[in-house]
Structure 1
Amino acid sequence: MLPALQEAFSLVQKHINQEKHRSRVLDFADLEVGALRALQDEQVQFYYAQRWQAFLVDEFQDTNPVQSEILQLLTQNTLLTIVGDAKQSIYGFRRADVEVFHSWRDRITSCGGNEEILTTSFRTHKLLVDDINNIFAPLLGNIHQNLDAHRADCPNSYPPVQVYTVQAESDINKPQRLRVEACHIAELLKQMLDDQTPVYDKKTQMLRPMLPGDIAILSRTWEPLEVYGEALESVGIPVALAGGGNLLATREAKDGWALLRFLADPSDDLALVAVLRSPQNLRIDKLNKKCIEMNQQKTGDR
């Protein structure tokens, strides 16, 4: 089947290239290959050799073989600094290969260059860094590198790493377990906010009470974040979703769509229920009650 597959691939590739040429567009791979082809010309090499005498390339662990060849042609007689971490080579998209990083590192050191190991973490304190070192040392093996904390203080009494499990019977499905998890996270964070848990402020370099903007929830996928957001809003913690996902699939968009359906057809009970059960509606209801209380207080004062 291989000859037939090769023929089919060639036909499709030819068609795509013709369409791109007709539309005058290039994709990412075209830019890479085109740049490499251009740099084969000695005049082009001379031009860029005169223009750039020093290079700094960050996130080098995500470099692919074509980019490596481009860099080789650009840096033959220049200063070169690369920054990378083999442990962060987790993507693999666009043919990124950590072996490219290893080969360039060895090439630089063999030519008299220096390898500087950066171990200081400026993002957190010693207790958390120690936990991170203990967790990842057996997992990463020979590529593990212990980190040192820039700050020694731990701003609060909460353990820096806490692990919780949801124990349930086998017939309890994943969405139910996810909602239990979300409610637990919401209650835990609300308690920390109510306790005015101290956090380190980078701007003032001092401790201050924790605010909702100091909280970040990370998830491998977008799906659980909406459930977490609903749980947080139900206990009065504001939520801002950052990046990724489908805008029309967010709670706000669904609420807006349900409201429009109800306004267009007041007999649509399902749309009305969707609007009434929304955390956004509950938050507005709380705000209305607060305004009524404030007005009543003002009336009493008069």
Structure 2
Amino acid sequence: MSASDFVRIVEVGPRDGLQNEAAEVSTATKIALIDRLSACGFPVVEATSFVSPRWVPQMADAAAVLGGIARRDGALYPVLVPNEKGLERALAAGVREIAVFTAASDAFNRRNINCDIDESLRRLAPVVARAVADGLWVRGYISTVLGCPYQGRVPVNDVVRVVKALDAMGCAEISLGDTIGVGTAKKARAMLEACATEVPMARLAVHFHDTYGQALANVYACLEAGVRVVDASVAGLGGCPYAQGASGNLASEDLVYQLHGLGMNTGVELDALCDTARWINAELSREPASKLARIANERRFAG
């Protein structure tokens, strides 16, 4: 890996990290978190979600959050939309980047959105078509690419099939998510490389949960395979509500430390990110989940 390589980190904490918090997180805190992350230098900060407040009450203030953030020039602030109604609300709020989601597991989709893979893709097609026609940047998420809490093993061919479908719809970028964190490095790389036979590696991202402590190892293996877009969540916030015992996302600060140690560039200020991780943990009244948020900032070790 070249020391000049740039890795684009997609910071998902404000949406994926906060959406399942049991206690209400104030709109002011969400806005402050996004602004802090923008100031750290993240090129992409997933801001919120236009899902039904009935299903995800934590995201009921999506429009207010978007209206309150200080947008950094050149940064993207995608929002998750589940359907055409969500897209309409997002467009009304002035959104220019969206994300849509499905899974590589029929069983997971049925539990999550009450339909199988094929039906989920049929539902997404008009959403993506409308977004692309309106000039929006569209990201596609695929869950359970390395394992499903309900069906167990997920064949790589199923992942590739969904990748091809999202690509054909017009998704500019496709994120491959190990939703329950069961993947290991060899399997993660093989899955990524199989997907890259159908969609250029430059348009693929990886998204690892750290349930089994394998997220950083999986990232490293995928970096060796050529991926240069990685999702992560400040302070390791988040988790999968449909997967018993599934811990949060890979912590952004732990990822940045690894990447800088490899001589790779992220554009993210690590000390400011660690400060932000400690701040949001205090706001949520919890102990830090990530390694770096537990120790003092030490620039000399960061590479």
Scaled by the length of structure 2, the TM-score of the pair is 0.27
Larger proportion of helix: 1
Return the structure number with greater relative CO, CA threshold 8 A, min gap 6: 2
Find the structure with the greater CA-based Rg: 1
Scaled by the length of structure 1, the TM-score of the pair is 0.27
Larger proportion of strand: 2
